[in-house]
Amino acid sequence: MVSKKVELHEDAALEYEAAFDWYMERSILAASKFAAAVNRAMDMIVEAPQRWPTSCNGTRRFLLQKFPFAIVYRELPTVIQMVAIAHTRRKPGYWKQRI
């Protein structure tokens, strides 16, 4: 089976960079673990995008372990679009205008 390409929404990329920078200012190790957790999550999503339950407007949510972030994504015909790298304790649903 051929896996779909990943498309990172521009705002999701900015969210990732901001979170990574925040962790980096505090600890190189924490930043490294955060980056690894996000990469592992994206790999798992690409491997089986329908594994996680659907949410609003056809999106799905992967909760990171050990970090208060969720990857909000949706499966489109040709790509898996990462809509948000959302902090789970701030502004719920702020990313909905992106879809």
- pLDDT tier for residue 97 given thresholds of 50, 70 and 90: low
Output 36-40 pairs: Cβ under 8 A, ≥24 positions apart: 37/64, 37/65, 37/66, 37/67, 38/64, 38/69, 38/71, 38/85
Is it the case that residue 96 has pLDDT exceeding 90?
no
3 state SS of 72: strand
pLDDT of 99 reads 76
pLDDT of 2 reads 63
CATH architecture of 5-89: 2-Layer Sandwich (3.30)
- pLDDT tier for residue 98 given thresholds of 50, 70 and 90: confident
> What's the pTM?
0.87
- pLDDT tier for residue 90 given thresholds of 50, 70 and 90: confident
**Residues 22-69 pLDDT 10s:** 999 999 999 999 999 999 999 999 999 999 988 888 899 999 999 999
Q: How far apart are CA 57 and CA 36, in angstroms?
A: 28
Q: Give domain limits for the chain.
A: 5-89
pLDDT of 94 reads 61
